[in-house]
Structure 1
Amino acid sequence: MRGRPILGSLAVLGYIIMIVPILFVVSTAFTAGDALTFPPQGLSLRWFGEALAYQPFLGALLSSLQLAVVSTALALLLGVPVTLAIQRGKIPGKSLVEGLFLSPLVVPELVVGLALYQQIMIGLHQTSFVALLVGHTVLLLPYAVRVTGASLALADPAIEEAARGLGASPLRTFFSVTLPLLRPGIFSAGLLSFVTSFNNVPLSLLLQSRQFRTLPVTMLDYVQQSYDPMIAAMSTLILAGTVVIAIVAEKTLGFAKIFGGINK
Structure 2
Amino acid sequence: MSTADLHTATGAYVLHALAPAERTAFERHLAVCPACAQEVRELAATAERLGLAVSVTPPAHLREQVLRQITTVRQEPPRVPAPRKVRAWSRRASRLVLAACLAAAAAFGGIAVWQHRSAEEARTEARQAERQAAELAAVLAAPDARTVSAKLPGGARGTVVVSKARDRAAFLTSALPDPPAGKVYQLWFDDEGKMRSAGLLNDSGGTNATLLEGSVGTASGMGVTVEPSGGSPEPTTDPIGLMKFPA
Q: Which band: TM-score by shorter chain?
A: under 0.3
| TM-score relative to the length of structure 2 | 0.25
Higher helix share: 1
Higher strand share: 2
